Structure formats: structure tokens, C-alpha cells
Structure 1
Amino acid sequence: MKELVNAYLEWLRKGLSMKEISDGWHEVVTPFLNHKNDMIEVYLKRAEDNQIIISDGGNTLNELTLSGIDIERSGKRMMELNVILRSFGISRSENNELIVKSNQANFPEKKHNFIQAILSVDDLYVLSKPKVESFFIEDVTTFFELNEVVFVRDTTFIGKSGFSHKFDFTIPKIKQRKEIAIKAISSPRKDRIESVMWMIEDTKLIRTETEGLLIINDVNEISDEIQKALSEYEIPYFGWSKRESNLYRLKNVA
């Protein structure tokens, strides 16, 4: 699976572009897309203490507001936002700007995690759709608890690349089965799926007794392109509508 990891990193390198804009700030355009299919941008500036400021310029939360999602008026959304920001060590300013600082040595990982945080926050958009009544992560958690699936929330593993990868759930290893690192995908867009595929394979290169699993919200049909990619690289997954028939994969039994 090294070719998948290398292909992803090459796609990422080719998709990044940077230009200086003003007052020491540099704009970095990434190949990742938000819910409006616009490329996600981050902003960099070296502070007086020589640390590097990484910011989203306020775009992430402001775009959600423009799409009809008022974070301030929803207790659930605000709670989930705070969980995301805490888990990635990111601050939120009074004008809704997401910010983190890094030093020279840990900048690549900090920027990587910052983009993953933006993607997680942007996924709050799915709550504006009438068919989605609650957070997908919350639904998965409830399903696990009701069916006595043993799991740990929000685990982080270091991959072969040196980047850290946060998984939504981890099911411990037992004699008959490897440890399972799970990502719950509420919005199965192509760039998100490719990113998670890389996370899984990068992790498996180090943690050989860990296998990945995607649980995908299929309220809208999973595209043939995504299913083909997952099948080609042998990434295990199932749609949320088929959770009952896949429960055996999650239980601590042979």
C-alpha cells in the first residue's frame, strides 16, 4: 500500500500553492474542498516570537453562517465545534477566526492537523439538510453503546509519514481480530475519502495489527467512483443504512 501513500502525498504537493498577500501574511490554497466545492485556504505569518501563525482567516465558520448554519444558536453544534477545536488544539477568536501557532520543527504536522480540523468543522454543514436530524458521530456512538460494542473515542496514531491521524473510534484488538481504527464519514466527498484512505494506509505501515474501517453516511448514495477506489485499495467500509448487518464486524467475538 506504499503506492497509495506516495500517490496521496504527490497529489497533495501538486495541489498546494502559496502567495504573499499583505502585512507578512501568505495565502496557501489547498486541494481540499469545502461543502461549496471551493478550495480550502489557510494563511501563514511569522510572529515576533518566531513562531508561525496558522489561520483560516475566519472563512470556515463564516461560510457556514452564509449557508444558513448559526453555530451560536445550536447547543449541539457549539458543543461539537468545541470538541473539534480542543482535539486539534485550535483557538477561536472573537471574529470566528480559527488559529493555531507552531514552531519550525512541528509546522508540517500542525498545518496538516489544522486542515483536518477545518474539514471536520465544515462537516457541520450536513446539519442544515432536513434528512439529517443529529450528528452522524453521535448516531454512530449511540449505535455502538446500544449494541455493547467496546470502543474508545478520538484516538490518535502516528503514521509512517510522521503525521498524526485522529480516528473517531477504535475497537481494541482481541485474539481473533485486529484492532480496528474507524472514521465515520458524514459527507462522502471524493477528497475526504481519499484523505481518509491515506490516513488508514499510512497508519497501517506502522501499526501492522491495526486495520481501518469507514462507516459512511449513505443518506445520499455513495458514488460508484468512491466505491471503486475503496474496493481497489481494499479499504473496508459499510454504509450507515447497512449497520445492523455489519454489527458482527464490530463485536468482540470471532
Structure 2
Amino acid sequence: MSASGCNVITGARQSKLDEVLNGFGIDRNEDELYIVCNDDRLFSAINMLMQGMATVDDLFFTARDNVRSYFSEDVGRWFEKHGVRNLPNILMRGQSGFETKFDFVIPKTPNTAPERFIKTVSTPSEQSVVNALFGWGDIKNARGDDSAFYLFLNKRNCGDGNIDESLLRACHNYDVRPVVWGQDEQSVLKELAA
């Protein structure tokens, strides 16, 4: 991990790293991440390891001095401030049999709002959006039509402060609502709080 140019094994980042790894069932031995499993769980374990590695990679970007808090925590505080009830850090098994971790799930409100799944991406990239879209596609097929997905994208960690339009188009192509943090979150507040 230190090869990435960031020493996350100190202070608050140590706690966050441990939280991320525990959430995916990943063990760590110094710079090595791994999951111990039996043969019948191998593919699911590989999937969780890859999701966890992508999340840890996203954590490395928080090493920049200008980032004072973690993006998913910012979104969680925003939900709390606006009374958006949610369940944090939920694992869901999709049609493939693989599990996908969502940062938040907002339960369905009968006759008002569908079940809403939320992922946060601190440093938006093509790969992070593709990973989120795959996870959503897998879950959506298993959950049915009465569910929606919101992908919160942090524009502060983009070089020019803007999200690449191709990432937003990809979201729309999969009926995913991209929410550009610092720009769009107020526009989805009513539907998330319903």
C-alpha cells in the first residue's frame, strides 16, 4: 500500500482502512490483502476482494492535504442533517450470486418511493463507475423494478473540478441517477427523503 505513495497505516486512516477491510471481509498482513475461503465461496470472495481493493484505492486519494473528511461520511452527515433515513454499509447478493456493497440503502416507502441504493465515489473514474454499474445491474435484476440507484460522485477530487461527461452519460444509459456532489444533491433530496 505504501507503494501507492500514501502511508494509510496511521491515525484516522488506519481506522478507516480497518473499517473498509472489515466491511468486505478482507484480512491484511502488512501490505497484503486477502480473504480466506473454501472452494464453494471462491468466486464470491474474489468479487469482495476486488470491491474492497477498489475502495481502498479510493481511500488512498484521501491522502491529499486538501481532503479533510471521507466522502461517504460527508454524504452520511448530509443524510442525517436532512432527515434521510438509511441503512449504511449494506451487502446485497445479486443475480450472479456475487455480493455488492452499497454505502447506503433507503428502504421503500409504500405508495411513495422505491427502495433506493446509494454508492459514493470519492474519485470518479471510468473504472469506478463501471464497477458501480456492474454491481447495480446485478442487484437490480435480483431486486425487481421497484428500486433505484444513485451514484454520488465527488467532483472535488477531479483534476479540473468537473466530472467527465462520459461518466454521467454511462450512468444515464443504465437508468442510474448520477449525483454530482456540490452541484446536484439538493435536486435529489426530496426523492431520497420520501
Aligned position for 2:61:
126
Which amino acid is 1:223 matched to? D
Alpha-carbon contact 1:200-1:211 (below 8 Å) kept: no
Rounded to whole Å, the distance in 2 between the matches of 1:163 and 1:92 is 22
Aligned to 2:114: 178
Distance (whole Å) between structure 1 residues aligned to residue 98 and residue 9 of structure 2 = 32
Structure 1, unaligned runs of 5 or more: 1-60
Q: Is the 8 A contact 2:90 2:102 kept in 1?
A: yes
Is 1:149 equivalent to 2:89 in the alignment?
Answer: no
- SS of match in other structure, 2:142: coil
State the match for 1:63 in structure 2: 3
Q: CA deviation at 1:129?
A: 2.6
Give the number of the structure whose alpha-carbon radius of gyration is greater. Answer: 1
2:127 alignment partner in structure 1? 191
Give secondary structure in 1 for the equivalent of 2:45.
helix
Q: Which has the higher helix share?
A: 2
Give the 5 Å matches for 1:9-88. Answer: 61-64=1-4, 67=5, 69-73=6-10, 75-88=11-24
| Residue 32 (structure 2) pairs with residue 92 (structure 1) | no
Give the one of 137, 140, 161 matched to 2:75.
Answer: 140
Aligned to 1:7: none
Alpha-carbon distance between aligned partners in 1 of 2:174 and 2:188, rounded to the nearest angstrom: 20
Match of 1:244 in 2: 186
Aligned length: 187
Matched, 1:101 2:42: no
Q: Does 2:173 correspond to 1:232?
A: yes
Counterpart secondary structure, 1:213: strand
Is 2:50 aligned against 1:115? yes
3-state DSSP of counterpart to 1:138? helix
SS at match of 1:102: coil
Tell me how far apart the structure 1 counterparts of residues 9 and 43 of structure 2 sit (CA, whole Å).
31
Q: From 79, 90, 93, give the equivalent of 1:158.
A: 93
Q: CA deviation at 1:200?
A: 0.8
Q: Cα offset for 1:172?
A: 0.8
Give the C-alpha shift of residue 71 in structure 1: 1.8
Question: Aligned-pair RMSD on alpha carbons?
Answer: 1.3
Q: Which has the higher strand share?
A: 1
Identity of matched residues, %: 28
TM-score (normalised: structure 2): 0.91
Equivalents in 2 of 1:241, 1:199: separation in Å? 25
CA distance in 2, matches of 1:177, 1:103: 40
Per the alignment, residue 38 of structure 1 pairs with none
Q: Secondary structure at the match of 1:140?
A: helix
Unaligned runs of 5+ in 2: none
For 2:88 and 2:3, the matched residues in 1 are separated by 28
Query: CA–CA distance in 2 between the matches of 1:245 and 1:225?
Result: 21
SS of match in other structure, 2:53: helix
Q: Which residue of 1 aligns with 2:148?
A: 211
- Shift in Å at residue 199 of structure 1? 0.8
Residue pair 2:172, 2:178 contacting (<8 A) in 1 also: no
CA distance in 2, matches of 1:96, 1:90: 12
The amino acid across from 1:78 in the alignment is Q
Contact 2:25 2:48 in 1 (8 A): no
Equivalent pair of 2:120/2:151 in contact (CA under 8 Å): yes
TM-score calculated relative to the size of structure 1:
0.70
